[in-house]
Amino acid sequence: MSKGRDAKPHIGIYGRRNNGKSSLINCLAGQDIAIVSEQAGTTTDPVKKSFEITGFGPVILVDTAGIDDSGELGQKRVERTLRTLGIIDLALLVITGNSWGDFEYDLVKKFKDQDVPFIIIHNKSDILAPTQAFREQLEYNIGKVPFEFSTVDRRNFEELIQLIKESIPEHSYKTPTLLGDLIKQGDIVILITPIDVEAPEGRLILPQVQAIRDILDNDAVAIVLKEREVDAFLKRTSVKPALAITDSQVFVKADASIPQDIPLTSFSIMLARFKGDFDNYLKGTPKISALKDGDRVLLLESCTHHVACDDIGRTKIPRWINNFTGKKIIYDVVAGLDTLPRPITDYSLLIQCGGCMITRKQLHNRLLPALRAGIPVTNYGMAIAYVQGIYKRAIAPFVKSIDDKAIYL
């Protein structure tokens, strides 16, 4: 399950079968948007539902199957449920009847492993409220007190909404600026956007659109040019932009066209700083120089698209890295949020795309297994700049001080 274009905060509802997860969704949304049944296991696969929190804004509720589902099919449902943790900004763990066991302990451990904030909701409290002993037990073992609630009498409803609002991480709903710390009112920014076989018919790719909007939001001026028009434009107009941003695929041409005293970067590196793990990208990119014959490199595309004959991830980046290193390297490409074809420890380097179609949370979770395994990570644009010899210039706009030893091995 992917967030896709839903950049709203995602709230996952978890718990055992028949604990009232779907009833909770209906109660929060104020309408019957989830199927409710006395029969355990009504919800099978995770399902997204839109919901507006008054005074906060829109969120996406994710209804999941019971974590205690059984049988071969049930285990597959549980696996799909756990897979949603990669897109969740806040988890609601629904329990009832003062009951807590291994299922809940395991789920809380996974929440903490993936840095997912969570609320424990004791539902059906109209039948049996949480006892003081149970509250103290959870506080001692988990560090949290269960929130007393009932979808029947809606006790503490407003307090629950307030708790949810307070618990959603700020970065999940506040959109920081892409370039606001680099440009000021009236600045001119040149965007170099080649129109090639991978450019969508009749429109620009999302990072280019995002950059234009951010430039306008900062009261600056965006000038969009194809790569072959840059030299003539600068000569004819004598415009000196405050910043130039290029498609990574034409980095070499942009580097030659844009005067050295004008900061230059790429859309992919802009996104790497905006939502990627930029510090680890800075550490990981120079590891390209250390690749050896037979090493395996994983390229992660966080969206799916038509594969062209000269595809950036499948063809161009592998070709450029091979030419740079002179080594025989093996490449795997994974699109969307598909499972990896082999254990993460089989890879010597992970290269992540800009991630324009997913959230910061989702992208960081995608990188987490590699980082925990000590595998260096980098980004499409940063890797391209590195192997084409313009890495130092490309990251300079986003790095306060550049230590050559930290950039080149």
Query: In terms of domains, do 396 and 281 share one?
Result: yes
**Tokens 């355990």 label which residue?**
40
Task: Check which CATH number belongs to the domain holding 313 and give it.
Answer: 3.40.50.11410
Query: In terms of domains, do 160 and 201 share one?
Result: no
Domain-ending residue, one of 204, 234, 269: 269
Q: How many CA atoms are closer than 13 Å to the CA of 211, on its beta-carbon side?
A: 30
Confidence at residue 176, expressed as pLDDT on a 0 to 100 scale: 66
Whether 180 is covered by a domain: the verdict is no
Query: In terms of domains, do 232 and 141 share one?
Result: no
At 271 the three-state DSSP class reads helix
Whether 3 is covered by a domain: the verdict is no
36-87 pLDDT per residue, tens: 444 444 444 567 878 777 667 788 888 888 898 888 888 888 888 888 888 8
Confidence at residue 172, expressed as pLDDT on a 0 to 100 scale: 65
Query: In terms of domains, do 93 and 29 share one?
Result: yes
Amino acid at 266: S
| Contacts of 349 by beta carbon, 8 Å cutoff, 6+ apart | 284, 287, 288, 291, 295, 297, 298, 375, 376, 377, 378
Query: In terms of domains, do 261 and 323 share one?
Result: no
Query: In terms of domains, do 224 and 341 share one?
Result: no
Q: Which residues pair with 93 in a beta bridge?
A: 14, 120
Query: In terms of domains, do 203 and 59 share one?
Result: no
Confidence at residue 32, expressed as pLDDT on a 0 to 100 scale: 57
Query: In terms of domains, do 26 and 153 share one?
Result: yes
Whether 2 is covered by a domain: the verdict is no
Whether 181 is covered by a domain: the verdict is no
Query: In terms of domains, do 133 and 54 share one?
Result: yes
CB neighbours (10 Å) of residue 107? Answer: 21
Whether 95 is covered by a domain: the verdict is yes
Query: In terms of domains, do 131 and 14 share one?
Result: yes
Task: Check which CATH number belongs to the domain holding 216 and give it.
Answer: 3.40.50.11420
Confidence at residue 45, expressed as pLDDT on a 0 to 100 scale: 53
H helix count then E strand count, the chain? 15, 14
Q: How many CA atoms are closer than 13 Å to the CA of 91, on its beta-carbon side?
A: 27
Is the overall model pTM greater than 0.85, yes or no?
A: no
Alpha helices in 171-229 (DSSP H): 206-217
Range of the domain at 319: 276-407
| Contacts of 403 by beta carbon, 8 Å cutoff, 6+ apart | none
327-380 pLDDT per residue, tens: 999 999 998 767 889 999 999 999 999 887 777 777 888 898 999 999 999 999
At 137 the three-state DSSP class reads helix
Closest by CA position to 266, among listed 302, 220, 308, 276: 276
Domain-ending residue, one of 207, 235, 269: 269
Whether 4 is covered by a domain: the verdict is no
Whether 27 is covered by a domain: the verdict is yes
Confidence at residue 174, expressed as pLDDT on a 0 to 100 scale: 60
Closest by CA position to 371, among listed 275, 286, 271, 279: 279
Query: In terms of domains, do 135 and 222 share one?
Result: no
Task: Check which CATH number belongs to the domain holding 145 and give it.
Answer: 3.40.50.300
Query: In terms of domains, do 195 and 152 share one?
Result: no
Nearest 10 degrees: CA dihedral of 385, 386, 390, 392? 110
Which residues of the chain register pLDDT less than 50? 1-5, 34-44, 305-309, 402, 404-409
Domain-ending residue, one of 213, 237, 269: 269
Distance separating alpha carbons of residues 358 and 104, to the nearest angstrom = 29
Whether 179 is covered by a domain: the verdict is no
- How many structural domains comprise the chain? 3
